[in-house]
Every structure is written in C-alpha cells, then in structure tokens.
Chain A
Amino acid sequence: MFIRNLALLFILSTAIEAQVMIPEPGPSRPVAIPPITQTKLANGLTVRVVRKTGSPLITTRLVVANGAGVESRQKAGLASLTATMLTKGTKRRTATEIAESVEFLGGSIASGAGWNGSFAAITVTSDKLSQALAIFADVALNPKFAKDELDLLRTQTLDGLTYNLKQPSFLAGFVASRYSFDEHPAGGTKASISSINVPDIAGFYQQNYRPDSSILIFTGDIDAGLANSLAKRHFGRWRSPRSDAIGKGVGTSIGKGQVPLYRRIMVVDLPRSGQAAVMYAKRLYPIQRATPSFFTASVFNSIFGGGYSSRLNTEIRIKRGLSYGAGSSFAWRRSSTNFAATIQTKNESAAEVADLVLAELKRMVDTDTGESELVPRKAVIIGGFGRNFETGSQLAAALGDLFVYALPTSDLNSFIGDVNRVTAEQVREFATGNMRGGDLIIVGDYSVFKDDLAKRFSTARIDVVAADSLTLSGAEFK
C-alpha cells in the first residue's frame, strides 16, 4: 500500500515524494573558482598560473593553438604525429633518455594533438620541478624529428589503426569524419599516415609551434612569481617565425529550408562483429564556440544524450535493455561543431536503435523540455564543470581549452550563470534549426540487420561499404 502510494507520488512530483521519506539536503556550499594569474612574455607567449594547494603535484602544460584542423586531408594525422614526435628525441636527448629521466623523477610526460590545438604536458612533485622543466622545455623547443623514430612511430600508428578499425564505434566515427563532417580523421588514415615524412613534420612544427600563438600553463603547488620566472628562463628565448601561422580550416554550410530528420544512411559491413555501432552524426556550421549557442547546445546534449539519465540512455538502456550505454556529444571547433550520438547494441537490434534515436531527436524538435527535466540536466553540466577543478592536470587542460577557443578566463566565472540562463524554448529552437538533417551510420554485421533496416527505413538512401576495403575516397564520400 505504502509502496504503491509512493510510486504514484513519484510520478506526480519528485519533490513531494522526497518529503515523505528522504532527508532533505542541507544548504549548499558554492564551488570556488581558483584565481588565475596571467602574463605575457616579450616573445608573445602567454603564461597562466593557478595555485592549488593540498597536493605536492605541479602540472606544466604547453598548448599550441593549431592542431589537426590546419593539416591537409592528404596528410591527415600530421598534427598528431608532430606532437607525439616531440618526446622522441631532441638535439641533446634521445627518446629513451627523455622517458627514463622523466620516469626517474616519478613524473609523467605526454604530448598530442586534437582538432583545435596541440599540447605537451608534464606532471611532477614540486621538489622535481626544476629538473623536469629543463627536460620539458628541451622537448618542446628542440625536437630532433629523427627518421628512425618517425619510422617506428609510423608503424605503431598504422598498427593502432588496423586494431581500431576492427571496433564498430571507432569505425563509425572514422567514417563520419568524412561522410558527415566534411573533415578527415584527426588520427589519420592508412594512406595519409604512410605518406608523412620528416620534412612534413618539421614543416608543421616550424609553422605552428610558435610563442605568439601558444600558452604555458602551471597548476598546482606553485606561486605565480616562481612560475613566471621559470617560464622566462626556459621559454623566454623561443622565437616565432616571420610568417603567419597557418589559417584556420573552413568548411561548407548546409542548405536551409525544409530539412528532413535525417538525410541518408551509411552501413559499414563488418562481418562477425560482436556488436553493431549506431551513430547519428550532424555537422553544425557556422556556429561560434565563443557565443551563447555553446550553452544552448550543451543543455540540448545533456537532455538528449549526455549522462546516465539522458533521454537516449533512458529509452535505449534503462527501459529496453538494448545497450550498455547510449550517449552523445559535441566536438567543438572554433566556428563549427560536430555532433555524434553513438550506441553499441547487438547486431539484431541495430535498426531498432536507429529508429529510437530518431524518435528522441523528433521529440527534441517537437516539444519543449519541462522544468522538472531541464533543471537536473543543467545540474549535470554544472557538476561536471566543478569536477574539472579537482586535479591540477584537469585544470591545466581546461585552461588550455579556453586559450584555443580564444575565450577569456572570466568565462569560468560566468559559466554557471550562462548554463542556467538557457530556456526550454531556446533548446527546442536549437534542435529544430540545427540538429535535423544528419546521417545515420551503422557499423556491424550487415547480414544480421539488413532486412530489418530495409523494412524500418524503406524510403531511405542507404550507402553500403565493406569494412575490409574501406577508404574514405569512394563515391559515397563525394
């Protein structure tokens, strides 16, 4: 009796139900945004410092404001290989010496590239900082780009691609980069990786790694005075080349007017795959990262596919048991963003899951989200934002992101208010104006879901390619 009442009350209002049994939360304590110190060296290098006590760790992160977005399609993966090569030897240190000396300090060093930027980062305890920075600066400023090191890295990268291209979700994203986003895979293709040589790497480095479009970030148990003097000592002599940095990539806009819920379907046939991956992919262009649209998009995503209780996961996993997890995200560029919802499911239910994704998308387009859903979905974003400041290395990464999007550090202080200002109507308008007209990409054992897909999507254009002979240059990709 009591249980039935409780269940009924829950349907009517969670607030009433909470009063019946569950203790109320106490007053909340606000999350403190740590103060950020910023200076600029004479060579144009921006230096940002955030002191964070409680742990003796210090992270130093160098971020360069160009990444895969400025490499050509033929040389896809160049930004990533260039960043990785930084730790593979300098004029003074071999690759093994770099790894050994950093690991001897108990430190960790990493470098890599995304679409918008490239980075190198080192984390050590404060007693080892001075030795670690000497190695770090050498890695960032004096890379050797030796041929035998590149040969090994190229082989490793190709092996990694062969491995990943057997995984349905990776394959879906790989295909979407070209088919739906009009880009290229940031990790490269087998053809592009095979073609990258030492002059390519040295050229990319020369053109893009320059103090006037880079930032050096210190977070952790360090004060601004020490950080700035270390920055000057180790990075003060770094010079920019005379030429300008490579321009930012541009793309094409899609037509306005009557937009269908989705445009077309691509199937990548991976026989005997253990599961199918179902992806809805949509490119939004032009849309500036540094505008309120970012916050509307974030709230849209939190409702639709961001987090455990999002609509996709609720419908696909919690209610129907069709997947271990259904989710979505935006990958931002400076003036565009790529949206992808990805779900792995048994091959038999691939078409059903595709149907469910579109039904949820239609619901976002057709109806305003109620307050009782909107408020908690905003809390998910705000909570995740707060957790970004838990560790020094996370904080350094977040500060680096602000830099590549050319956002002011005050963005951190206004973030929570900006999320809270988004209205249900804005979310629906955003969905209607931007989220329709994407592609469905399904990777899996086509023989298992072919009939069901044809039945459920009888009028759709379906492009089918075989995973084994996949290139991103077939007619389907034009």
Chain B
Amino acid sequence: MRLVSLFISILFVTCAAVAQVKVAKLDIKERSLSNGLRVVSVRDGSSPTVAIRVWYRVGGKDDPQGRSGFAHMFEHMMFKSTKNMPSEKLDRLTEDVGGFNNASTWDDYTDYYEVVPSNYLEPLLWAEAERMQNLNVDDANFASERDVVKEEFRQSVLAQPYGRLFEYINSLSYTVHPYKRGVIGDLEQLSAATPADARSFYATYYRPDNAYLIVVGDFEQQQLDTWTDKYFSHLTNPSSAIPRVTAKEPTRTAEKRYEKTAPNVPFPAVAITYLAPPSSHPDTPALDLAATILSDGESSRLYQSLVYKQQIAQDASFTFDMKVDGGLLYFFAIASEGKDGQSLERSILNELKLIQTKGVTARELARAKNQLVSQTIVALETNEGKAEAIQDGITYDNDPKAVNTSVAKLQAVTAADVLRVMRKYFTPTNRVVIHYDNEGGSK
C-alpha cells in the first residue's frame, strides 16, 4: 500500500511539470431561418468529407398512447419514399458514393445523420429537406418496416441474456413519466400501429420549427447558407402547437424491490436505480465525475472492489443515463460463476456508503477529470464526432455551443461537490432494486 502511494506521488509531480493540452474550441456558426429551423455549422477542411445531422425534438417519450415504440418505428419510415424521392434514395446518395447514413431514436430526440464526400453536401441537404416535409407513408412499406422493428426488438431485447433487464430498468424506475415505456416499446403495441398513426405523428412533430440542421466539415460558409435557404426556407409549419410531455415523475418516498426472471440468463444480475435531476441541472458535471470515479476503467472503485478484489462480479458498472426531464443513476452488476445477486447488492451499497462518508481523493478527482477531458478530445477527432457533440448540447443543455464550455464546467467541480451530490441523490428512499435471474433458478 505504501509502495503504491509513493509511486503515485512521484508520477503526480512529474505530471504537474508538463503543460496541459487545451481542448480546442469549435468555431460554431448559428443561424435561424424564418420558419424556425435552426442551422449550426463548423467548417473543417482537413478531410474532403462532411457530416450532416438533422435533429428533431421528438423521441420515445412522445410515443402516442397505446403505441409504445412508435417514435422509433417512425424513424425507420423516414428512409422510405417522399413526393420526389423513391424509397431508400438516401442510401443511393450516401452508401453508393462511399458515405454512410443512419438514424437513432432516444427518449428525448431523434437524429438522422450522414457522412459523405463533401461534393455530395448539396444533394443531401435537398434530400433532408424533402423528407422533412414530403414523406409518403404507404401501407406495404409500413408493414414490412414494422416487421424489421420487431426483429430489432427480438435481437436487442429477447435474444440478449440481459436485454429484458434493461427494459425493466425503465419500466420499474418510473411510475408516471413516459420514460417508463422505453424507446423500443413492445411487440403488441408495435403490432397495433397503423399507417394513419404514422401520418399523424409526422404532421405533428416533423416540422422546421422542431428541428436543428447541423453541418460539420468541408464546405464554404456562404455556399452552405445559400443552399440551406434554397432547400429549407420554403418549408412550412402547421398552425398547431407542438405537444410536449408535461408529466412529472414524483419524488420517490420509499425503496422498492423487484425480482424478475427470463430464459437463458447465465448468471444472476442486479440493477439499483436512483432518479437523477434534469440534464441541464447544475449538478450534472459533478455526477459525471462521480460516474467516472465509480466506473470508468480498471482503476475505478467498482472494478477494483467487486471485480478485482472480491471477485464476485464479472461486470460491475455505474451509469449516469442523462435525460431531459430527469434520467437515471444506476448501478448494474452481473455475478461471477457461483456468486449471487444478494452479495452484489451488498457490495454495491457498501461502496456507496464509503464514498458518501469519506468522499473522493484529490488524486481520484484529478484522474477522472483527465479521463473526461481525453474522452472529449477523442470524441472531437472527426467531423461526425464534432456534429454529435454539438447535438448533445442541443438536446441536454438547449445550447448548441455547450461543447465549448463543458470542459471548464468539469474542471470547476470540487471533491466537496462530488460528496454533496452523492449524498443528495443516493438516498435509501430514492432507490429501486431489481434482481434478475434465470427462469427456474440459476443453472
């Protein structure tokens, strides 16, 4: 033990003498069109590619009543035909010229994105404007895409040993907020969805005043402005207001405990969840650092305690699952062969108690900051990564430039801040415990 600390202090002194690398600020341009579409761009000509994202403020939490999984299923429809574009045309404009495209649906938003050779920027802007306003929803496409989404559900939930547990984490952590339904939904409600639902959902949420266009890479600013005006400015908004989720998840008043089973679960697992504050809350950076100290890397507390020293878990992690209306802080561990879920729970709560009574060390906090700063630098290495970082600021801080201040916010966090948030949110009454095991007992 003494040897460890000696080694550490030598290293620390060496580090302090070296100049710190600064995270370069992105030169972010913002403009708004008269229809409310906001355009955010960063020029970077270092490679002849451009990353494009269209972000809509609609996600799993906006699924219609009795249609859980709908926002995600609708996302799949956005690759089908429009008034002036055949189905899968987006693939012709991206994949066929050496680029790629994809889309993803989250609790709070849906994003559509492409990376293409930069000479394809104009066709892509045209195509994104086209599917913002002119989508067709035909019955045959709807039926086959619904089958694809059901296979996606089977693959990510049913065919994964712990897939169902992650659905339980949502459904058992929330009582009122639609976050409880999860983004992927369920097979029964997906089967009930109709093309009419899709048309109505599209008309309600897919509109320029509910979207951001993000462009990062090799382009001329004036050219981009001209093209965005040309292809997007004539798009209109319906006169109706955009419906917003107003449900508020009530404060938890007592611990709740659940035991769940599923087929083909090789080892018992446990999840312990706590309600987190909304993503834009000032406690977010301290919680990020707490998560890093608990769970990032093999020097983290959970790995060292549960996996390395006690050897009761093959995997032990802590996640700050950020959401706009208040996400989750959760521990998750899978037992090692022959170990049980109860000892996982005991050890996790022990680690929690330790950090709540003794706090974190200066060395731990410095390490966590270095890890997060490096991860930011890695994330900003590509055009795609820069666009995604800008998008996260839009989603979680309502600020496209949040990426430029996130590092300073992390650096300002003190050990006392970490201690305070660990005591504030991780209370016994704010706790849901889910034990998960094989149907008919462990094998």
Binding site for B on A (CB under 8 A): 2-3, 6-7, 10, 14, 17, 21-32, 54-57, 93-97, 99-101, 103-108, 123-128, 131, 152, 155-156, 158-160, 162-163, 165-168, 270-275, 307-309, 317-324, 344-346, 375-376, 379-380, 382-384, 386-387, 389-392
B159–A125 touching, CB < 8 Å: no
Q: Which of B17-25, B104-112, B205-213 contacts A (4 or more CB under 8 A)?
A: B17-25
Residues of A within 8 A of B8 (CB): 100-101
Could you tell me the distance in whole angstroms from the C-beta of B58 to the nearest C-beta in chain A?
22
- A sample of 14 inter-chain contacts (CB < 8 A) reads A25-B120, A26-B119, A103-B299, A104-B299, A124-B374, A155-B337, A159-B314, A167-B159, A270-B264, A274-B157, A309-B91, A309-B95, A321-B147, A379-B97
The answer to whether A123 and B378 touch (CB under 8 A), given A28-B119, A168-B159, is: yes
Q: Are B378 and A57 in contact (CB under 8 A)?
A: yes
Contacts A7-B81, A22-B93 given; 5 further ones with Cβ under 8 A? Answer: A54-B381, A99-B298, A103-B296, A275-B159, A308-B91
Let me know if B370 and A105 touch, CB within 8 A: yes
Contact check: which of A2, A27, A159, A382 meets B119 at CB < 8 Å? A27
Q: Contacts A100-B367, A309-B91 given; indicate if A6 touches B86 (C-beta within 8 A).
A: yes
B315 → chain A, closest Cβ, in Å? 9
Q: Is the CB of B366 within 8 A of A166?
A: no
User: Which single residue of chain A is at the shortest CB-CB distance from B298?
Assistant: A99
Establish whether residues B298 and A344, one from each chain, have CB atoms under 8 Å apart when the complex forms: no
A-contacting residues, B45-96, CB 8 Å: 46-49, 81, 83-86, 88-89, 91-93, 95-96
Q: List residues of chain B with CB under 8 Å of any chain A CB.
A: 4, 7-8, 11, 14-15, 18-21, 44, 46-49, 81, 83-86, 88-89, 91-93, 95-100, 115, 117-120, 122-123, 126-127, 136, 143-148, 150-152, 154-161, 163, 218, 263-267, 296-299, 304, 307-308, 311, 314, 334, 336-337, 363, 366-367, 370-371, 373-374, 377-378, 380-382
Return A441 CB to nearest CB of chain B, in Å.
Answer: 16
List, in ascending order, chain A residues with CB within 8 A of B263's CB: 271-272
CB contact between A273 and one of B150, B264, B337 (< 8 Å): that residue? B264
Q: Is the pair A131, B15 in contact by a Cβ cutoff of 8 Å? A: yes
When chains A and B are docked, how far (Å) is the Cα of A123 from the Cα of B336? 30
Cβ distance A156 to chain B, nearest Cβ, rounded Å: 6
B100 to chain A, nearest CB (A): 7
Q: Are B48 and A29 in contact (CB under 8 A)?
A: yes
Shortest Cβ distance from B143 into A: residue: A321
Question: CB-CB < 8 A to A27: which residues of B?
Answer: 119
Residue from A25, A166, A320 in contact with B266 in the complex, judged by beta carbons closer than 8 Å: A166
Least CB separation from B363: chain A residue: A104
Find chain A residues with CB under 8 A from B81 CB.
7
Which residues of B lie under 8 Å from residue A24 when comparing CB positions?
A: 122-123
- A307 and B337 contacting across the interface, CB-CB below 8 Å: no
B151–A318 contact, CB under 8 A? no
Report whether B86 and A125 are in contact in the complex, using a CB–CB cutoff of 8 Å. Answer: no
Which one of B11, B18, B93, B374 has the greatest number of beta carbons of chain A within 10 Å?
A: B374
Known: A95-B298, A127-B19. A321 touches B146 (CB 8 A): yes
Provide the bound-state CA to CA distance between A97 and B299, in Å: 8
Do the beta carbons of A309 and B88 come within 8 Å of each other?
yes
Q: Complex formed: what's the CA distance from A30 to B146 in Å?
A: 40
Q: Which chain A residues border B159 with CB–CB below 8 Å?
A: 167-168, 273-275, 344
Assess the A23–B46 pair: CB atoms within 8 A.
no
- Nearest A residue to B153, CB-CB: A324
Question: In this complex, what residue of A is CB-closest to B145?
Answer: A321
**Contact indicator B119/A25 (Cβ below 8 Å):** yes
Contact of B126 with A22 in the complex, beta carbons under 8 Å: yes
Note all chain A residues with C-beta closer than 8 A to B160.
167, 274
Known: A159-B314, A382-B98. A391 touches B147 (CB 8 A): no
From A55, A131, A166, A391, contact of B11 by CB (8 A): A131
Q: Are A23 and B308 in contact (CB under 8 A)?
A: no
- Report A-chain residues with C-beta under 8 Å of the C-beta of B264: 166, 270, 272-274
Most buried by A among B265, B311, B378: B378
B377, A57: Cβ atoms closer than 8 Å: yes
A376 and B97 within 8 A (CB): yes
Instruction: Report the separation of the CA atoms of residues A319 and B145 in the bound assembly, to the nearest whole angstrom.
Output: 9
Q: Report the separation of the CA atoms of residues A140 and B304 in the bound assembly, to the nearest whole angstrom.
A: 23
Asked if B155 contacts A162 (CB within 8 A), the reply is no
* Contacting residues, chain B, for A379 (C-beta < 8 A): 95-98
Cα(A99)–Cα(B143), bound, Å: 50
Closest CB of chain B to A30's CB: distance in Å?
A: 7
CB-defined contacts of B304 to chain A, threshold 8 Å: 96
Task: Contact check, B48 vs A155: say whether CB atoms are below 8 A apart.
Answer: no
Distance between B196 CB and nearest chain A CB, rounded to angstroms: 20
CB distance A324 to B91 under 8 Å? no
Complex Cα spacing A165 to B8, Å:
41
Q: Give every chain A residue within 8 A of B136 (Cβ-Cβ).
A: 3
The residues of A that contact B144 with a CB separation of less than 8 Å are 318-321
Q: A274-B154, A275-B154, A275-B155 are in contact. Are A3 and B296 (CB under 8 A)?
A: no
Residues in A whose Cβ lies below 8 Å from that of B92: 14, 376
State whether A317 touches B148 (Cβ < 8 A): yes
CB contact under 8 A between A21 and B97, given known A54-B46, A127-B19: no
Q: When A152-B308, A159-B267, A344-B155 are in contact, do A56 and B21 touch as well, CB less than 8 Å?
A: yes
Interface hub of B156, B158, B296, B297 (most chain A Cβ within 10 A): B297
- Residue of A25, A104, A274, A344 near B163 (CB, 8 A) is A274
The answer to whether B21 touches A127 (Cβ under 8 A) is yes
Let me know if A163 and B161 touch, CB within 8 A. yes
Name the one of B46, B148, B337, B382 contacting A158, with C-beta atoms under 8 angstroms.
Answer: B337
Q: Tell me, in angstroms, the Cα distance from A166 to B373 when the chains sit together.
A: 37
Q: A96-B304, A275-B158 are in contact. Are A23 and B122 (CB under 8 A)?
A: yes
* CB pair B157 A324 closer than 8 Å: no
- Contact among B7, B97, B311, B377 with A125 in the assembled complex (CB-CB below 8 Å): B377
Please list the 9 inter-chain residue pairs (A to B) with the smallest Cβ-Cβ separation, ordered nearest first.
Answer: A383-B98, A274-B158, A321-B147, A106-B370, A376-B96, A106-B374, A29-B48, A274-B159, A99-B298
Is the Cβ of B95 less than 8 Å from the Cβ of A308?
A: yes
Smallest CB-CB separation from A314: which chain B residue? Answer: B88
Assembly CA distance A182 to B373 (angstroms): 46
- On chain A, the residues within 8 Å of B120 by CB distance are 25
**A273 partner residues in chain B, CB cutoff 8 A:** 159, 264
In the complex, how many angstroms separate the beta carbon of B38 from the nearest chain A beta carbon?
22
For residue A276, which residue of chain B has the nearest CB? B159
